[in-house]
Structure 1
């Protein structure tokens, strides 16, 4: 096998990127990596710290193997490992992704003092009364009246949105942004409204139709592009 192709080193403005072949054996890869970074011209800059990103493609690396590669790179002069990127996810990571992308449907009224929290998007068929709270790691869609608290993107997702048939909340939260009793809310109960974080990091309440432009990645719903 031609080991020369197992490791490719590319210089970027942020440091070095190491592209590691994902078809050769792990032992071959280690040996070639050691040779390549030892002889690379980038290593001649002795007084400069160099940040290294490692891309391993479709290769699965155990935690021990990742640490072994990091240590091999760290042993070379002035190299700092920033991250190891792989296309492979574990079963646990895949399950977490599945949960984050699911839509949880609940048909009930959320009364004062009740808190409903879900992983993924929440579709509530019912009202959120004053004093009630709904939370989701993703988006919140309420087919009813929102008079309580809604917190979308509660794990830090700034792209999350809140939509309700009637938007009269006591508080809106998206990620870390808070909007109490938004002044923009319409008195016309016949129009569905939505809330999202604008470029100025403020929560904006607007008509539902603007979501097509503001959040075009809502592709799980008919009409998304």
Structure 2
């Protein structure tokens, strides 16, 4: 006498949304998901790939379980998993997210051969000398001269930015994008803070700090003090 459906499939303009009940067992869920997908695809023509978003509610999934669900869905010929959304994360994941959103203030000079790494935003009061490296999971703000390497968004955040009182880096990196700074930067003679960000063409651009007010309005609270 089972009336409750553990798997609900909804078609949208963007593809399929799978609502997976969070009260049944994981094995029961997998079995019903397999049955429902097989039945659903029999009624569809195999013309193109269909994007699938999975919502699991208050169910925590291990990485192994996530991969199992993705593989089960991918086996259904023309289905492609876009995302699996859960309302639940582990304590370790919550602490990591908290760290990635915190601003760490460091007062020092990063010398040649030294690496300064933080999980969230970095506010460095000091210089980064040639051969020195600063790496942040979030944004990098340097109240000094950047002559070494700066890598912002090291966990893949391509919205991260790098700002410095004087931008003369040997290399800039934001997420997976890399840019060697030009031999001469015309902005450096103006003695204004500068910033680097990824534009719509996926290139790292160096501009005046004021550009961030429009490009990254959520950073205003962090950069206004640097004018």
- Shorter-chain TM-score above 0.5: yes
Q: C-alpha root-mean-square deviation of aligned residues, in Å?
A: 3.4
Q: What does 1:14-163 align with in structure 2 at a 5 Å threshold? A: 15-22=15-22, 24-26=23-25, 30=29, 33=33, 36-37=36-37, 40=40, 42-45=41-44, 52-62=52-62, 78=77, 80=79, 82=81, 83-163=83-163
Q: SS in structure 1 opposite 2:154?
A: coil
TM-score normalised to the size of structure 1? Answer: 0.76
User: In 1, distance between residues paired with 2:196 and 2:71?
Assistant: 47
Contact 2:8 2:20 in 1 (8 A): yes
Q: CA deviation at 1:63?
A: 5.8
User: Unaligned stretches of 5+ in structure 1?
Assistant: none
Paired residues, what number? 219
The gaps in structure 2 that reach 5 residues or longer are none
Please state whether the residue corresponding to 2:169 is helix, strand or coil: coil
Provide the rounded CA distance (Å) in 1 between the counterparts of 2:146 and 2:212: 18
> Is contact 2:195–2:206 with CA below 8 Å preserved after alignment?
yes
Q: 2:54 and 2:196 mapped to 1: Cα distance?
A: 39
Distance across 2 between alignment mates of 1:135 and 1:69: 34
Offset at residue 124 of structure 1 (A): 0.5
Mapped contact 1:179–1:203 kept (Cα < 8 A) = no
Aligned mates of 2:33, 2:86 — CA distance in 1: 17
Once residues 90 and 143 of structure 1 are traced to their aligned partners in structure 2, the CA distance between those partners, rounded to angstroms, is 36
CA–CA separation in structure 2 for the residues paired with 1:134 and 1:163: 12
Contact residue 46 and residue 78 of structure 2 kept, 8 A? no
CA distance in 2, matches of 1:74, 1:204: 38
The structure having more radius of gyration, on CA atoms, is 1
Instruction: Name the counterpart of 2:199.
Output: 198
TM-score, normalised via structure 2 length: 0.75
Q: Is the alpha carbon distance of 1:72 and 1:178 closer, same or farther for their aligned partners in structure 2, counting shifts above 3 Å?
A: closer
Change (3 A) 1:19 1:122: same
Q: Higher helix share goes to which structure?
A: 2
